[in-house]
Amino acid sequence: MKLSSLFFFVVFSFLSSSIFAQTDTISKKKFHWGKAQSDTSAGYAQAILVDNVLYISGTVSRGTTMAEQLKGVYTGIERTLQSYGLSFQNVVKENLYTTDIEGVKQNNEVRKAFYKGDFPAASWVQISRLFMPSALVEVEVIAHLPKKQ
Amino acid sequence: MKLSSLFFFVVFSFLSSSIFAQTDTISKKKFHWGKAQSDTSAGYAQAILVDNVLYISGTVSRGTTMAEQLKGVYTGIERTLQSYGLSFQNVVKENLYTTDIEGVKQNNEVRKAFYKGDFPAASWVQISRLFMPSALVEVEVIAHLPKKQ
Amino acid sequence: MKLSSLFFFVVFSFLSSSIFAQTDTISKKKFHWGKAQSDTSAGYAQAILVDNVLYISGTVSRGTTMAEQLKGVYTGIERTLQSYGLSFQNVVKENLYTTDIEGVKQNNEVRKAFYKGDFPAASWVQISRLFMPSALVEVEVIAHLPKKQ
């Protein structure tokens, strides 16, 4: 093999591997609170849009009572949805983690008001604790956007 | 600005905001037990189909033993799948929450029979309790439909 | 009805029902450790690709400390991603289940190194126990592939 051929082979290999590497990466549109792209301390983004699917992280809130935290959690999810031009109508799946499932059941009206009668598929479980020791409830959702024609 | 221009501006703004609001909503096909579209008391639907993805809620069942509950849970999921013309072949992801993970492991044959050897990606965790105090196990799944050409 | 008509009716019904049954099944590309398609004992596959969505099962690892297990878990997820030609750039959602959430927080640098600053939407919860009694942490992720044009 001539040196010139070798040169082109190396360049070609480099270019094609870059191209293949590129084709595997995806386009993501992140949302996080404030100006950040993500929380680099804990290491997560509040939400990621890929294709027409929006994944929203487990969302918590301040407040001492369950009613306060539920209101804060769903308000946070609503703000996240709105940043993509969406509403709770777009939410298809909800996972709720709480340290007090009876407390959630007793304050469910606070949560239900956000859905306006159009409820998602959901799973609720009572777990031992959440990321922040003071958090009583954490909710993650999946929302879909209309597909582009 | 003339009054007529203002009028058209207001009408146009109203129409365009309606149009934009509409383009963000999605088409969902819900399934729930009986004739209901969803359980408006707890606030969830047993399943939601959006695009070609089916989200099935955490499913529980009656029964006093783990074997009975597992059989009931997967029979419920099967009925949900069938209402969309699907089977366990379409299930790609399973999340199982239980208060007794050893009990699930000991009765796994009951669960495995439903999958007929074609198993999904899965995560099982032992949690503190479920929505109904009597529930020993709750299972949610994601199923995909074939894409329309 | 003539016998010949009946014959064609039966054959037609059989063929069309086969066709309809076929249209409901989906194409899945599974990955599991070693040569297996799935773990037929526990009844799950490490990962399933459907359309352009990759569902990775709750992944655990050996190791006595949280740092060791975290490194093992994310190395396992990385190997799974690589088997599809993907990287952590493709991960859009992470669910982490642990028996010691403070331990995960203290060792988060081990986990964060895998994401290289490009973090997913995530939920972390502390639960009672995992499938293997020795497991301190289990992580499942959803990854997306670029859409084919």
Could you read off the pLDDT of B76-98 as tens digits, one per residue?
999 999 999 999 999 999 999 99
Of B90, B101, B119, the CB nearest to C38: B119
Q: What is the per-residue pLDDT for A148?
A: 78
Residues whose CB is less than 8 angstroms from the CB of residue B36 and which lie 6 or more positions away in sequence, other chains included: none
Q: Quote the minimal CA–CA distance from B70 to chain C in Å.
A: 14
> What is the pTM for the complete model shown?
0.87
- Identify the closest residue of chain C to B101 by CA–CA distance: C131
Residue A89: partners with Cβ closer than 8 Å, 6 or more residues away? A118, B24, B25, B26
Residues of A in contact with B46 (CB under 8 A): 121
DSSP 8-state symbol, A90: G
Q: Is the per-residue pLDDT at A20 higher than 80?
A: no
d(CA A132, CA B120): 32
CB B127 to CB A123 under 8 A? Answer: no
Q: Do C146 and A26 touch (CB under 8 A)?
A: yes
* Residue B100 pLDDT grade (very low, low, confident, very high; cuts 50, 70, 90): very high
> Can you list the positions of beta strands (E) in C39-108?
47-50, 53-59, 91-98
Residue A13's pLDDT band (cuts 50, 70, 90): low
Q: Residue A6 — pLDDT band, cuts 50, 70, 90?
A: low
CA distance A106 to chain C (A): 22
Phi-psi region of B62 (alpha: psi -120 to 50; beta: other; left: phi over 0): beta
* Token pair in block for residue B36: 């209901």
The predicted-structure confidence for B3-14, as pLDDT tens digits, reads as follows: 566 555 555 555
| Closest CB from A23, A24, A43 relative to C119 | A43
| Residues facing residue C126 across a β-bridge | A129, C98
pLDDT reported for residue A3 = 57
Q: Cα A13–C53–A86 angle (5° rounding)?
A: 120
The set of chains that have 3 or more CB pairs under 8 A with A is B, C
Distance CA C81, CA A88 (A): 32
Burial bucket for residue A136 (CB in 10 Å: 0-12, 13-18, 19+): buried
List of chain B residues whose C-beta atoms are within 8 Å of the C-beta of residue C44: 94, 119-122
What residues of B are in contact with residue C45 (Cβ under 8 Å)? 119-121
| DSSP codes of every residue in A11-43 | HHHHHHHHHHHHHH----EEE-STT-SSBTTTT
DSSP C6-31: HHHHHHHHHHHHHHHHHHH----EEE
φ, ψ at B9 (rounded to 5°): -65, -45
* Residues of chain C found within 8 Å of residue A144, distances taken between Cβ atoms: none
Check pLDDT > 90 for residue B138: yes
The string of pLDDT tens digits covering residues A60-98 is 999 999 999 999 999 999 999 999 999 999 999 999 999
In this predicted structure, what is the pLDDT of residue C37?
A: 86
Choose among C89, C101, C115: nearest Cβ to A25. Answer: C89
Put simply, the answer to whether B123 touches C97 (Cβ < 8 Å) is yes
CB distance C48–B121 less than 8 Å?
yes
Distance from CA of C76 to the nearest CA of A (A): 19
> How far does B2 lie from chain A, in Å, by closest CA?
32
Exposed / middle / buried, residue C105 (Cβ in 10 Å: 0-12, 13-18, 19+): middle
User: Could B112 and C56 be called an inter-chain contact, meaning their C-beta atoms sit closer than 8 Å?
Assistant: no
Count Cβ neighbours within 10 Å for each residue of A61-89 and write b for 16 or more, e otherwise. Answer: bebeebeebbbbbbebbbebbebbebbbb
* H helix intervals, chain A: 3-24, 66-83, 101-106, 108-115
Give the list of residues 6+ apart from residue C30 with CB closer than 8 angstroms, or none.
Answer: C37, C38, C45, C46, C47, C48, C49
Q: Which of B20, B50, B57 sits opposite A122 (nearest CB)?
A: B57
As a whole number, the mean pLDDT across chain B is: 90
- Number of Cβ pairs closer than 8 Å across A and C? 93
pLDDT value of residue A59: 98
Answer yes or no: is pLDDT of A122 > 50.
yes
Gap between the Cα atoms of A33 and A38, Å rounded: 8
At which residue do the structure tokens 């379409």 appear? B90
Q: How confident is the model at residue A36 (pLDDT cuts 50, 70, 90)?
A: confident
pLDDT tens digits along B1-60: 555 665 555 555 555 554 454 458 999 999 999 888 899 999 999 999 999 999 999 999
Of the candidates C101, C115, C123, which has its C-beta nearest A129's C-beta? C101
Q: What is the mean pLDDT of chain A?
A: 90
For chain C, residues with pLDDT lower than 70 are 1-23, 149
Q: How many Å is the Cα radius of gyration of chain C? A: 22
Q: Which chains contact B through at least 3 pairs of Cβ atoms less than 8 Å apart?
A: A, C
Question: What count of other Cβ atoms lies within 10 Å of the Cβ of residue C72?
Answer: 17
Chain B contact set for C25 (CB, 8 A): 87, 89-90, 146
Q: Which residues are CB-neighbours of A8 under 8 A, at least 6 positions away?
A: none
Are A119 and B45 a contacting pair at CB < 8 A? yes
Please state, in angstroms and rounded to a whole number, the distance separating the CA atoms of residues C14 and A86.
Answer: 45
Q: How far is A91 from chain B (nearest CA, A)?
A: 9
Which of B80, B97, B128, B138 is the best residue to mutate to test the A interface, defined by the most A CB atoms within 10 Å of its own CB? B128
- pLDDT for the residue numbered C19: 47
Helix (H) or strand (E) holding C139: strand C137-144
- Confirm if A44 and A56 have CB atoms less than 8 A apart: no
Q: Which of C79, C63, C71, C78 is nearest to C132 (CA)?
A: C63
Contact A28, A48 (CB under 8 A): yes
